[in-house]
Amino acid sequence: MTAAQDDFLAMARTAEQLLHRPEVAAAWQQPSALAEFTVGGLAGHLAYQILCVPPTLVGPLPVEETVPLLGHYQRAKWVGADLDAEINVQLREGGERIAAPGPAALAEQVAAALAELTVALAKEDGARPVRLPFWSAYTLTIDDLLITRTMELAVHSDDLAVSVGIETPEFPPEATESVVGLLARLAVWRHGPVDVLRALSRAERAPGSIAAI
């Protein structure tokens, strides 16, 4: 397997364990730490980062242009969008739909998808072009898609743990390096290298935020 595949599977297993936690099931209908998301809806959104991958590995290859990793975020409708923007409403509604069968069923669905992906990804060299249904007319390589999903899994695992009052899981070290590297690149793109440099090295000149997403 490639490093991106290993990192994704490691982070996905961490998320799967979180979805099995009884605290998540107990708080399913309660508000989460993310505005307008219930705990269940957030769990569904977290699960989607795993469940969306198997369908991209079957069927004919997409024909749209393959863009670099940063190009995905430059085209993503949700980057910088307001809470009530159509894309964010769709993401929340999608999370609720995925969560509708309940916590136990969702956790088992994720476990089954992970078992499938452990086998399927071992056959991939990372270069296959793939796309998700809500993207505009472009593709990523499977490895770049997995890097984006690894970041989403880390961020939303933290969101979910905070939402139910438990410690955020300890993330796999190599996968964490990938996530931090991606977030740093996005922060530079959104805020510029000087602000990121100052935020990381000079507290007296640090900007108010270098949030990457």
Which pLDDT tens digit goes with each residue over 96-122? 999 999 999 999 999 999 999 999 999
d(CA 122, CA 106): 24
d(CA 53, CA 117): 8
For residue 7, what pLDDT is reported? 98
How many residues are recorded in the chain?
213
Residues 6+ apart with CB under 8 A from 188: 196
Where are the domains positioned within the chain? 3-172
- Distances from the Cα of 43 to the Cαs of 21, 92, 115, 186, in angstroms? 11, 11, 19, 24
Task: Answer whether residue 207 shows pLDDT above 80.
Answer: yes
- Domain at 3-172, CATH homologous superfamily: dinb family like domain (1.20.120.450)
pTM score above 0.85: yes
For residue 29, what pLDDT is reported? 97
- Distances from the Cα of 137 to the Cαs of 114, 115, 140, in angstroms? 28, 30, 11
- Distances from the Cα of 23 to the Cαs of 40, 103, 161, 166, in angstroms? 11, 10, 9, 8
> Nearest CA to 96 among 133, 43, 152?
43
The partner residues of 140 in beta bridges, in order of sequence, read: 130
For residue 84, what pLDDT is reported? 86
Residue corresponding to tokens 């991606």? 182
pLDDT tier for residue 87 given thresholds of 50, 70 and 90: confident
State the greatest distance between any 2 C-alpha atoms of the chain, in Å, as a whole number. Answer: 54
For residue 86, what pLDDT is reported? 87
- Distances from the Cα of 159 to the Cαs of 73, 154, 174, 176, in angstroms? 21, 9, 20, 16
